[in-house]
Amino acid sequence: MTVNLTVFGKTDIGLVRTSNQDTFVIADLTGNNLIEAQTITRFEVGERGVLLAVSDGMGGAAAGDVASAMVVESLRRAMATPSNEPADALIEQAVEKANHVVWQASHAPGRKGMGATVTALYVRGGMAYIAEVGDSRAYLLRGGVLVQVTRDQSYVQFLIDSGTMTPEQAEDAEVPNVILQAMGSKPGVTVALGKLALRRRDCLLLCSDGLSGKVTPDEMREVILTSPRLDVACERLVELAKQHGGEDNITVVIGGVSGDLPPLMMDEPISGTLEILREFTADPAARRSA
């Protein structure tokens, strides 16, 4: 099976923050290639797979930019290390290791309390394995439909899940922007895991809440579908987040899937190709400013 992934990523400081605490990584683990320049890159997904990840340093926390950089670098190194582990165990263990790295570093002078989110996609074969800690998001655009394939580990999401408020009420409510777990805040984390069977012409989107908090899914969908290239789509999404306020850092990574994959079947729901391997159980007492 030949699977190709065409990827572009962009991060922006936004209009208000004085530093950018977001970080992303695009890495071909088979060829050991790390994409640092902002250029459209096409991979043939090899035996070791491709890693895409976004990490958002905690706003207002000490050294959030250091924390997010540590997360993605530790994640990349762990995923690049040869292993016979199944793909889901590999990404889970890599996230757990990255958490421990940040946890240890947070005890250094000037770094107390630092933390970050992480949402990672590990593409291997015809599957994408999704790992999440925090509230950075992953979306799937398939057949013109955009679906969020992660669930925010946030206080707002907890209120929605518990029935305290509806998603529509949450949009208008003055609810603090807090997350319920973060990388580096504790010695261990619960990694939410999902497994997505890919289809030809799938489009994968990762972003920090600087995008998802300002741009609606319908707007994301429209931008991607009407953009001639991935870099144009990323630029337009970042600019749209700025037009809507741009108070936070903004990061977006988009990957287009092609190759020897099953085509989209008209009667096949996205939920039928997404398996939740592990969910995060919310503890509203463990709140952390995002």
Per-residue pLDDT tens for 207-236? 999 999 999 999 999 999 999 999 999 999
* pLDDT band for position 287 (cuts 50, 70, 90): low
The full DSSP string for 226-250 is H-SSHHHHHHHHHHHHHHTT--S-E
* pLDDT band for position 59 (cuts 50, 70, 90): low
Q: Distance (Å, rounded) from C-alpha 276 to C-alpha 281? A: 13
Q: Distance (Å, rounded) from C-alpha 172 to C-alpha 182? A: 25
Q: What's the domain count of the chain?
A: 1
Q: What is the CATH number of the domain that holds 96?
A: 3.60.40.10
Q: Residue 44: which residues within 8 A CB-CB, separation 6 or more?
A: 2, 3, 4, 259
Decide: helix, strand or coil at residue 136.
coil
Provide the residue range defining the domain that includes 176: 3-289
Q: Distance (Å, rounded) from C-alpha 262 to C-alpha 239? A: 34
Q: Distance (Å, rounded) from C-alpha 5 to C-alpha 28? A: 10
Per cent of the chain over pLDDT 90 is 76
The full DSSP string for 2-61 is -EEEEEEEEEE--SS-SS--EEEEEEETTTTEE--SS--EEEE--TT-EEEEEEEBPTTS
Q: Is the dihedral of CA 126, 42, 86, 146 positive or negative?
A: negative
Return the higher-pLDDT residue of 3 and 266: 3
pLDDT tops 80 at residue 286? no
Per-residue pLDDT tens for 129-166? 999 999 999 999 999 999 999 999 998 888 888 888 88
Instruction: Tell me what pLDDT residue 41 has.
Output: 94
Query: Phi-psi bin for 113: left (phi > 0), alpha (psi -120 to 50), beta?
Result: left
